[in-house]
Each structure stands twice: as structure tokens, then as C-alpha cells.
Structure 1
Amino acid sequence: MTTRIRGVLAPVLTPFNRRLEPDVNRFIAHCRWLIDNQVSLAIFGTNSEAASLSVNERLSMTDALLSAGIPAARMMPGTGGCSLADSVILTKHAVENGALGALMLPPFYFKGVSDEGLYAYYSEVIERVGSDRLKVYLYHIPQLTQVPITLNLIETLRKRYPDTVVGAKDSSGDWPNTKAMIDNFAKDGFDVFPASESTLSKALPLGAAGCISATVNMNPGGIHALYQGCNSAQGETLQANADVIRKIFQAVPMIPAMKRVVAEFSADPGWQVVRPPLVGLDDSTAQGVLTALRDAQFTMPGYPGR
């Protein structure tokens, strides 16, 4: 039986150099720091600026991680997108290299598509990859895609591919929807990952598998401690501490804010670079974030610097 990935995962930030090319050395160092802090890697998620990366860039960056000794068993690459052919290439590469899951956005350019059309997309990817090792995690983020992963779609895919469609990330920010996913499917082995650590204390007792959260990039140790100890005597304190950091970042544009903070803690200004159409955080907002983090006694212990 194939091991399933559970616990806390970071949608890993993608560093760029001044030519707006992926900076592989920074990427490897960041991933290694996350692994050392006991979390796993949802490379090429939303906060990775994945929609701004080409297929070749994603493949070469994955290969670089593997060559650097980052274990494939700690990866859940994002492989979904608008192009069926591209999704097949990315998903097949993930499976062939030992990743334990593929996090798959729906095709999001066309709006108002039916569950029937989304079923056809996911089914085509699964059939063309053609591996019993493939584990698909559906990615529900309707505020960006405007193409929801409905409970009906999950049920239909699970009936046809119960051993392949094994989980979902719910980035809707809608707790009733997350709870409905857990209530309807977790008992049958479907792993639901909320997208915010702020829901861990109520999601884990219901059967959630963990969380895939942007701020794991910044606070992996604190969020892993919360995952491990949310039902302990320290649970309320761990949740409150994680919530403080989460609220600081989600009050501002999160990707440029996280990159600005990494630049500060690594003493590496190059980390601030985002790929257009995103823009970097302005100095005033950045100083507000850094002040709030200092007030919260935030640190990134052991982070590699230049």
C-alpha cells in the first residue's frame, strides 16, 4: 500500500533572480529549511507563483530538488492547469520521480463549466498518466479560479477512481465547505487539507489530514507544533500563536510580503523579487509587517543567509 502524505505542507515560495528566472540555489535552500522544520513541500502552488511558471521551469526545478537530495516522498507538486497536455506532462513527471501526490487545479480559463467537463479533464489526466501510483489531490480555490470543486464532483471522481483521487486542498476560506468535505468523505479515506492553520484545531478532530498553508513558508516550526499538539494542554496557546502570525501576513498581499520577510531574515535582498504581474511590497507596508512581526517575537531560526 502506498504511503499517503499527511501533516503540514508549504506551498513553497519561488525565488527569482534579477532577470526574473527561477533561482534554483535559493529554492533548494528554502526547501531544505522547510524539510528540516518537519514540514513537506507543495511545490508549485498558488503562493509559488506557479501560474507564472512554464512547464519546463517546473520540471527543471523539480529535478534540481531531487538532485540536491530533497526527498520526493515529501513533495506534492502542483500539476493542474488550463492545458490538459501540460497537466499530463507535469503529473507523469511527479509520479515517475516518486512524489506521493499531485495537487491539481481545475482548468480555470473557461468559467461556468459543468462538473461533467471537470470530470472529463481529471479523468483524461488520470488515464493518460496510467499509473496506480498516482494520487490526485483536488485543489479548490474558487476565489481565483472561479471553477469550484463541488462535493458532487468529488463523489463522482471517487466512484470511478477511489484509489487515485484521494484528497483535496480547500482554499475557499469557507469553513462550512471544508467541514462538508471532511464530513462527507474523510471516513472513506479522502484526505482534506484546509489552506489555513487557523482552522487546524477544529478540522483535525473531525478527520482533516493536516493543512497546506502559505504561512508554513514563514512559520513551519510553529505550525508543525500546532499540528502535533493541538489537542494537548498547550493546544490553545499553539493555535493562538500561529493565528497571530497568520493574521499579519493575510492583512497584506501575501506573496510579496512573505518574500520581503524572507529577504529580511536571510539578509538577501534578492528574495524580494516577484514575477510580473505581481509587484513587490512597498517600503511603508513592508515596515508595518516587520514591526508587527517583531512585536509578535517572530523568528525564522536557522534560516540560511547570504
Structure 2
Amino acid sequence: MSIKWEGVMPAVTTQFTANDELDLELFKVNIKAQLDAGVHGIVLGGTLGEASTLTDDERRILTRETVAFVKGKVPVLMNIAEQTTKAAINLAKTAEEDGAKGLMMLPPMRYKASDAEVVEYFKAVANSTSLPIMIYNNPVDYKIEVTLDMFAELLKTCPNIQAVKESTRDTTNITRIKNRFGDRLAIMTGVDTLALESLILGADGWVAGLVDAFPAETVAIYELQKAGRIKEAIAIYRWFMPLLELDINPKLVQYIKLASAYTKIGSEYVRAPRLVLEGEERKTIIKIIEDGLKTRPTLPAYKKM
């Protein structure tokens, strides 16, 4: 089983009702907007999906509903962010049963594992499933870095480890990965504010956040730079930057959900302990969103280039 690791893959939000239940109807509104914009995959259960607050049943429902809704147009991936190897293996199993075509995987959560422990964790899960895997490397937020030497060990024995979501925030890492592994390890940039730079440097795609509110603009940047229309991509990217900066804050879920409510493809309901924004912080974020909407660019033709 394989995935074409390229293009824009939204780390989609999980939509909730005011009563803290899954809002599958609004969830599908957002997924449809992503598909209409031309995304290349869907990632469920990431940070933006509020994975740590979801029950096992809810994750399975989201996977099945998404797989049924996209009807094979793009691959559906489930994120694994677990505390134990046993739980991670079980989630990989149920994700595959429910129709996911790939996995995104973080190192073990909460415990600051050693390099050897992290490698063994990834190996155990990879060897338990036939699904292709993208390792999410985000030492800034999750305090564990998957080094190039660790990747080298994993790639020797785990053919289904195929990609990295590169979120170290060091763009020179893209060149290091390409120099060392060539096409063996695809690179999906995972930081919205470094996305265009990363793509130009050789990243294969973009696991995006603000795409949840602005799907067309996100895909346009990817497609334009791929077609060599760099100036057009830069113009959109410069307009987008104040909004993209909402992705690099501990409250990125609240910020991006509020933006998606303004673009009418999501709501701002979050699951506790998160709370909807209030006071001056809310006013600040609303101003950023409204300023962006006032100057929202008319996009050039970007599909099927």
C-alpha cells in the first residue's frame, strides 16, 4: 500500500456541537471545502483535530465517515499520538480496519523517551501494520526530536515509514534530509509560516493548519510554486502571513476554528479543557481574521496546472 506524499494535506479540525458532541454535518462541510479546493489528502486526529480529547469510538466514527465521504478521491490518514506502544499498535489496527490509507505518528507522548526508545516505538508500530507512515517530527512542541540518524535506522528496517512531517522550524533540515535520503523519505512541511520557503527548498508537500479556514488560498500557494509561478505564490503568501501566524500559538485550535467560523466552513466550539476565546484576546484574533477577509486576494487559476 502506498501514498503519493505530495500536495496539501489538511490537518482537519474536529467539529463539535454546543452540547459537545461530534458535529458530523459541519465536519463534512469543511471536508467538502477541502476537496473542492483540490487538497491531496486528509489528516484526522492531529493537534487541530483535538485528538487527545477524543474517545476511541469518536476517532473510529470520524475515520469511517471521512472515508465514506471522500470516496477515494484522496487518501485519509489517522494520526497516532499515544502514551504506550500497545495503544499505538491498537490505533493503527483500528485505523486500517476503518479504511484509513495511512498514518501520521508522533513519538510517545508525555514520557521523554530516549532515542533508542523512540526508534523501537516507531518500529513496533510500523511492523504491526501495512499502512504507510509519516513521522511527525516536532521537537518544539513535543520535546522529542527524531534525528537523521534515527531516521536512518528506521528506514533500514521499516519500508512503510515513507515520509516526515518536518516541523523542527529549521528549514536547513530539508536540505539535510534530501542530501542524506534522497527520495526515500518524502518531506511534508508542517509549519504554516515556513511553508512556501520549505516547498521551494524541496519539501514535497504541506500538512497545513489555516487550510481549515482558507483551503483555496493554501492549495493555490502549493500549486503556483510547483508550476514555477513563484511571484504569484509569494503575493498570496504575504497576504496570508498574519493568518498563518495563528498556527504557531498554543491556542492554535481556538484561533483556527474561529477563522473557519468566519469563512463559514466550521464553528468555534472546542472541547474542554479548551475554551472559546474571550475578552481582548478574542478581539485581537477577530481583527486579524477580519483584516485578512477585507483584503482577501482574487486567486489566479491554479487547478490542474
* Equivalent-residue separation in structure 2 for 1:45 and 1:291 (angstroms): 26
Match of 1:289 in 2: 288
Are the counterparts in 2 of residues 5 and 101 from structure 1 also a CA contact under 8 Å?
no
* Equivalent-residue separation in structure 2 for 1:32 and 1:77 (angstroms): 18
Q: Give the deviation of 1:239 after TM superposition.
A: 2.5
Which of 138, 141, 165 does residue 138 from structure 2 map onto? Answer: 141
Match of 1:12 in 2: 12
Where does 1:237-276 land on structure 2 (aligned, <5 Å)?
A: 237-251=232-246, 253-266=251-264, 271-276=267-272
Code of the residue aligned with 2:283 in structure 1: it is: S
Where does 1:128-207 land on structure 2 (aligned, <5 Å)?
A: 128-129=128-129, 131=130, 134-161=131-158, 163-185=159-181, 187-207=182-202
Q: Give the deviation of 1:192 after TM superposition.
A: 0.7
- The TM-score, its normalising length taken from structure 1, stands at 0.85
Are the counterparts in 2 of residues 43 and 75 from structure 1 also a CA contact under 8 Å?
yes
Fraction of identical pairs, as percent: 23
Are the counterparts in 2 of residues 249 and 289 from structure 1 also a CA contact under 8 Å?
no
Q: Give the deviation of 1:222 after TM superposition.
A: 1.9
Code of the residue aligned with 1:285 in structure 2: it is: T
Are the counterparts in 2 of residues 201 and 231 from structure 1 also a CA contact under 8 Å?
no
* Equivalent-residue separation in structure 1 for 2:298 and 2:287 (angstroms): 16
Where does 1:200-215 land on structure 2 (aligned, <5 Å)?
A: 200-215=195-210
CA separation of 1:298 and 1:139: change in aligned 2, threshold 3 A: same
Code of the residue aligned with 1:122 in structure 2: it is: F
Are the counterparts in 2 of residues 198 and 239 from structure 1 also a CA contact under 8 Å?
no
CA separation of 1:141 and 1:239: change in aligned 2, threshold 3 A: same
Are the counterparts in 2 of residues 73 and 99 from structure 1 also a CA contact under 8 Å?
no
> Aligned with 1:138: secondary structure?
strand
Match of 2:222 in 1: 227
The question of 1:277 aligning with 2:273 is answered: yes
* Equivalent-residue separation in structure 2 for 1:18 and 1:156 (angstroms): 46
* Equivalent-residue separation in structure 1 for 2:34 and 2:265 (angstroms): 18
Are the counterparts in 1 of residues 257 and 269 from structure 2 also a CA contact under 8 Å?
yes
* Equivalent-residue separation in structure 2 for 1:170 and 1:231 (angstroms): 19
Which of 231, 238, 245 does residue 236 from structure 1 map onto? Answer: 231
CA separation of 1:239 and 1:176: change in aligned 2, threshold 3 A: same
Q: Give the deviation of 1:172 after TM superposition.
A: 2.4
Code of the residue aligned with 1:144 in structure 2: it is: D
> Aligned with 2:187: secondary structure?
strand
Structure 2 stretches lacking a partner, 5+ long: 300-305
RMSD, matched Cα: 2.5
Match of 1:79 in 2: 80
